[in-house]
A and B are shown apart, each in its own frame.
Chain A
Amino acid sequence: MTQLTPVLTRNWDLPNAFTVDGYGEYAAAKKALSTDPDAIIQMVKDSGLRGRGGAGFPTGMKWGFIPQNDGKPHYLVVNADESEPGTCKDIPLMMANPHSLVEGVIITAYAIRANYAFIYVRGEVLHVIRRVQAAVREAYEKGYLGSDIFGSGYDLEVVVHSGAGAYICGEETALLDSLEGYRGQPRLKPPFPAVAGLYASPTVVNNVESIASVPSIVANGADWFAGMGTEKSKGFGIFSLSGHVTRPGQYEAPLGITLRELLDMAGGIREGHELKFWTPGGSSTPIFTAEHLDVPLDFESVGAKGSMLGTRALQIFDDTTCVVRAVLRWTEFYAHESCGKCTPCREGTFWLKQVLKRLEKGQGTEDDLTTITDIADNILGRSFCALGDGATSPIHSSVKYFREEYLKHFEIGGCPFDPAASTVWGKA
């Protein structure tokens, strides 16, 4: 059986985990700053660390794309705009252990030769922002940030920047536009941020958990990290269980653990009920059912079964839940958050919402199922960024696994489920 591997979550039960006293004295950063930056990039490449923000791009390779000796300033931007429905790992990580992020920022910025780094935190999490602000301030006071860090001659300024409520800013180029003071709309790629990112300069954009994992790699070595996980999905990650599970929460485990194993640890589905459907990595990843309980939760295995590992946001729904209702909610979310830049996403999500509303009320027809999958086909692969693609995931996967349930709605002229039964206080 797979065991949990607390690294980032290891100190969360200390009352002062969010201070240097509760974290440690940045020994990994100190070590890194006396190492050649290229050796750090190589070490992260060797570790096999892949982006923890959903896409899973190899982190060290991303850093390696930054042109060197180009005479331009380089920037590191941390994507702390965690907003994907179901995803709730970076927020508790920054609340409890912000110094792991700040130390990771120092090492990463040094490796890519950046002297300026930004932490873009979604605005709707006030106490998390306080903790990150305080950690950065404490790091300055200790001499871990600012000029001539650890006497290495290396200088780094870090700015904590609060967003203002826009899911799309989690898309890296929209985030850059937002950070430059514009509406957060995605940019055409190429050029990629590694070539023309913030202020048209070479920029690395990494997720919070990716960056926070870097100090442990520097401290313990690439082999240590690569010794966990699976062949192509190495290391550990935070798995977030939510919904109809006995003990929801954050479970840090090697990639490749299964939902069955995680559910065993979490006390199973809430008493008296069965697993109906779940998301492996947020609402943008196609839903799974009980038949997928033993799929190893790594990038390849989840992909082979038609979904994506995403952010390891395991939203668990039991047999009381109406899948049409859940899909409608997610679709309303995408319609609300579509930035409006491209037509397939802006119009498509709007129409999906209209048709799904009708379906949920039992006023649809079987043709409507063709309509929503047609609309989804016209969004998928035709949108400017991944938001549109993500919006189609719940549509396609729910029709694939629960077609009968859609049909049932208009057979009986309404929803066959009692929403009261699925609430926390609902009768089992």
Chain B
Amino acid sequence: MSYAPEVRERLETDAKEIIGRYPKPRSALLPLLHLVQSEDGYVSDDGQEFCAEMLGLSKAEVVGVATFYTMYKRKPSGEYNVGVCINALCAVMGGDQIWSELSEHAGVGHDETTEDGKITLERLECNAACDFAPVMMVNWEFFDNQTPESAKQLVDDLRAGKEVVPTRGPGRLCSFKEASRVLAGFPDGQAGDGPAASGPSLEGLKIAKANGWEAPAADGGPVNDR
């Protein structure tokens, strides 16, 4: 099986744009694999073949790269990739309990998808939001400060098709395929949504302001140019 002609044509247009960003074509391989996931929801056989053709590589070279990176799914996965951070800090703060309760609630384990095709669960390593622990990610959007109850509610809402909003992110949660397209370098126009920063991100600044603390002024001028 291979892509239908109209799909192929659309993907080729996108692929050429991606390849055009780089001084050397092979640099486009990671974004091309994200592009394939935006079409198929995982790195399909067709998709890897397509990448190989676009870059003049063997399929083995493409597969070798695709299997190295954990964000590339090896099999069809859910509309929502739901991750729970289980690295040391989040695990201790409650991530372990969230994982075990959520996994039992959803009836699937790591890298498994619910029967309705909605949810793939994943045990995540540190996602760089430790001051918001315990952290979950859905389609790589932040869901901060979770509890076992909020995690189960989140998954129930996603399965019921209810609107779910990330804690720091866009006003609308996009699908795994839509997210993959942004990763391939095609913005979805939602960058302006959500706060610049919130919660713990602002703690230090709040304390500095309350105390009137600033970086020292440069000679004869304001602290910086704004």
User: Residues on A close to B: CB < 8 A?
Assistant: 3-7, 9-19, 22-24, 27-28, 73, 82-88, 90-92, 95-97, 116, 122-127, 129-131, 133-134, 137, 159-167, 178-184, 199, 215-216, 219-221, 223-224, 227-228, 236, 238-244, 247-253, 265-266, 283, 313, 315, 317, 321, 325-327, 329-330, 333, 336-337, 339, 419-420, 422-426
Contact = CB atoms under 8 A, between A and B. Distances in A.
B37 to A, nearest CB: 9
Contacts of B188: 130
Interface stretch (B5-13, B112-120, B154-162, B213-221): B213-221
B224 A134 contact: no
Nearest to A422: B92
Contact of A164 (B71, B197, B214): B71
Contacts of A317: 89, 92
B134 interface: yes
A22 B223 contact: no
Contacts of B41: none
Contacts, number: 312
A18 B192 CA distance: 8
Contact of A129 (B65, B182, B201): B182
17 contacts: A9-B205, A10-B223, A23-B226, A27-B226, A86-B130, A96-B196, A126-B169, A126-B182, A133-B191, A160-B185, A163-B69, A164-B183, A199-B23, A228-B216, A249-B131, A266-B203, A315-B88
Interface in B154-208: 166, 168-170, 179, 182-185, 187-188, 190-197, 199-208
Most buried by A among B30, B91, B219: B30
B106 interface: no
Interface in B54-102: 55, 64-65, 68-72, 86-89, 91-94, 96-97
Contacts of A423: 92-94, 97, 134
Given A85-B125, A243-B89, A165 B218 contact: no
A44 B218 CA distance: 16
A265 B141 contact: no
Contact of B94 (A181, A183, A424): A424
Given A7-B224, A127-B166, A249 B204 contact: yes
A270 to B, nearest CB: 10
Contacts of B94: 423-426
A181 B182 contact: no
Interface residues of B, number: 89
A28 B185 CA distance: 28
Contact of A123 (B93, B140, B170): B140
Contact of A83 (B126, B194, B223): B126
B215 A228 contact: yes
B205 A129 contact: no
Contacts of B105: none
A125 B214 CA distance: 30
Nearest to B148: A425
B125 A83 contact: yes
B102 to A, nearest CB: 14
Given A88-B131, A329-B91, 4 more contacts: A162-B31, A164-B183, A239-B204, A424-B133
Contacts of A243: 89, 92-93, 130, 133
Interface string B126-157: 11111111100101111001010000000000
Most buried by B among A6, A134, A163, A251: A6
Nearest to B188: A130
A262 B183 CA distance: 36
Contacts of B64: 183
Contacts of A241: 131
Given A329-B87, A333-B125, A125 B140 contact: yes
Given A124-B140, A130-B191, A182-B65, A325 B126 contact: no
B185 A224 contact: no
A85 B88 contact: yes
Nearest to B179: A126
A162 B88 CA distance: 25
A28 B213 contact: no
Contacts of A330: 87-88
Nearest to A168: B68
